Structure 1
Amino acid sequence: MSYSENNSNNSNNTNNTDNNGYNDGDNNDYQHKPSKSTIQLSVILPWILVVLLAGGFGYYFINQQQQIASITEKLNAEQTNTQAWQPPRAEVVENADKSEKSLPQVVSYHDAVAKASQSVVNTQDQENDTNLGSGVVVSTDGYIVTNAHVIEQADEIIVGLNDGRKAKANVVGTDPESDLAVIKVEMTDLKPLAFRAEPIEVGDVALAIGNPFGVGQTVTQGIISATDRTGLGVNTFEDFIQTDAAINPGNSGGALVDAHGQLVGINTMIFSRSGGSMGIGFAIPTVIVEQVMNALIEKGKVSRGWLGIEVQSQIKDPTNLTTSTGVAVMNVIPNSPASSSGLQMGDVILSIDGKDMKDANTLVRYVARKMPNTVLNAKVIRNGEQMEISITLAERPNQKEIQAVVSDNLQREQQDGETGMSEEERERLRQELLDLFENQKN
Structure 2
Amino acid sequence: MRILSFLGWPIIAGILAAALILQLYPQLLTSTPTVEIRQANNERNSTQGPFSYADAVDRAAPAVVNIYTRTLVDSDGNPIGNDPLYKHYFNSETPPTQERIHSSLGSGVIINPQGYVVTNNHVIAGADSIIVALQDGREAVAQTVGTDPETDIAVLKISLGDLPDITLAPTESLRVGDVVLAIGNPFGVGQTVTQGIISATDRNSLGLNTYEDFIQTDAAINPGNSGGALIDPNGNLVGINTAIFSKSGGSEGIGFAIPVDLVKQVLEDLIERGRVVRGWVGVEAQPLNPRLAESFGLSPEQHGLIIAGIYRDSPAHTAGLQPGDVLLALDEQPITDDGHTTMNTIARLKPGEKVRFTIYRNGAQQEIEVTTTERPANVN
Q: TM-score, normalised by structure 2?
A: 0.75
Which of 147, 152, 156 aligns to 1:183? It is 156
Which of 274, 277, 286 aligns to 1:312? It is 286
Which of 114, 124, 134 aligns to 1:151? It is 124
CA distance in 2, matches of 1:374, 1:196: 27
Deviations 1:289-320 (A, max 9, x none): 11111111111111111111111111146986
* Secondary structure, aligned partner of 1:368: helix
CA distance in 2, matches of 1:380, 1:140: 47
Any conservation in 1 of the 2:63–2:164 contact (CA below 8 Å)?
yes
CA distance in 2, matches of 1:197, 1:312: 32
Deviations 1:328-347 (A, max 9, x none): 11111212111111111111
* Secondary structure, aligned partner of 2:246: coil
Deviations 1:70-126 (A, max 9, x none): xxxxxxxxxxxxxxxxxxxxxxxxxxxxxxxxx986222222112211110011114
| Counterpart in the other structure of 1:379 | 358
Superposition pairs of residues 97-246 of structure 1, within 5 angstroms: 106-127=50-71, 128=101, 130-197=103-170, 199-246=173-220
Deviations 1:12-50 (A, max 9, x none): xxxxxxxxxxxxxxxxxxxxxxxxxxxxxxxxxxxxxxx
Question: Cα–Cα, structure 1 residues 129 and 113, in superposed 2: closer, same or farther, change >3 Å?
Answer: farther
| Counterpart in the other structure of 2:262 | 288
Any conservation in 1 of the 2:67–2:131 contact (CA below 8 Å)?
yes
* Secondary structure, aligned partner of 1:193: coil
CA distance in 2, matches of 1:242, 1:287: 15
Deviation of 1:131 (Å)? 2.9
Amino acid at match of 1:285: P
Q: Which has the higher strand share?
A: 2
CA distance in 1, matches of 2:321, 2:372: 13
Amino acid at match of 1:256: L
Deviations 1:405-433 (A, max 9, x none): xxxxxxxxxxxxxxxxxxxxxxxxxxxxx
Deviation of 1:132 (Å)? 2.6
Deviation of 1:146 (Å)? 0.6
Any conservation in 2 of the 1:208–1:221 contact (CA below 8 Å)?
yes
Any conservation in 1 of the 2:118–2:227 contact (CA below 8 Å)?
yes
Deviation of 1:274 (Å)? 1.5
| Counterpart in the other structure of 2:76 | none
CA distance in 2, matches of 1:192, 1:390: 42
Amino acid at match of 2:149: P
Q: TM-score, normalised by structure 1?
A: 0.65
| Counterpart in the other structure of 1:100 | none
CA distance in 1, matches of 2:373, 2:169: 33
| Counterpart in the other structure of 1:408 | none
Superposition pairs of residues 21-36 of structure 1, within 5 angstroms: none
CA distance in 1, matches of 2:341, 2:276: 19
Any conservation in 2 of the 1:122–1:134 contact (CA below 8 Å)?
yes
| Counterpart in the other structure of 2:335 | 357
Any conservation in 1 of the 2:170–2:260 contact (CA below 8 Å)?
no
CA distance in 2, matches of 1:152, 1:391: 36
Deviation of 1:197 (Å)? 4.0
Deviation of 1:141 (Å)? 1.1
Which of 315, 319, 333 aligns to 1:337? It is 315
Any conservation in 1 of the 2:113–2:163 contact (CA below 8 Å)?
yes
Amino acid at match of 2:219: A
Percentage of pairs with the same residue: 53
Deviations 1:230-268 (A, max 9, x none): 222211111111100011111110000011211110001
Q: Give the CA RMSD over aligned residues.
A: 1.8
Deviation of 1:378 (Å)? 0.7
Name which of structure 1's ranges 192-201 and 170-179 shifts more when overlaid on structure 2.
192-201
CA distance in 2, matches of 1:105, 1:263: 18
Q: Which has the higher helix share?
A: 1
CA distance in 1, matches of 2:152, 2:102: 23
CA distance in 1, matches of 2:224, 2:54: 22
Any conservation in 2 of the 1:131–1:214 contact (CA below 8 Å)?
no
Deviation of 1:357 (Å)? 2.0
* Secondary structure, aligned partner of 1:291: helix
| Counterpart in the other structure of 2:229 | 255
CA distance in 1, matches of 2:187, 2:48: 35
Question: Cα–Cα, structure 1 residues 104 and 183, in superposed 2: closer, same or farther, change >3 Å?
Answer: closer
Any conservation in 2 of the 1:265–1:283 contact (CA below 8 Å)?
yes
Deviation of 1:184 (Å)? 0.4
Any conservation in 1 of the 2:304–2:335 contact (CA below 8 Å)?
yes
| Counterpart in the other structure of 1:273 | 247
CA distance in 1, matches of 2:117, 2:49: 35
Q: Extract unaligned runs of 5+ from structure 2.
A: 1-46, 72-100
The structure number with the bigger radius of gyration is 1
Amino acid at match of 2:321: L
| Counterpart in the other structure of 2:6 | none
Any conservation in 1 of the 2:315–2:372 contact (CA below 8 Å)?
yes
Deviation of 1:165 (Å)? 0.6
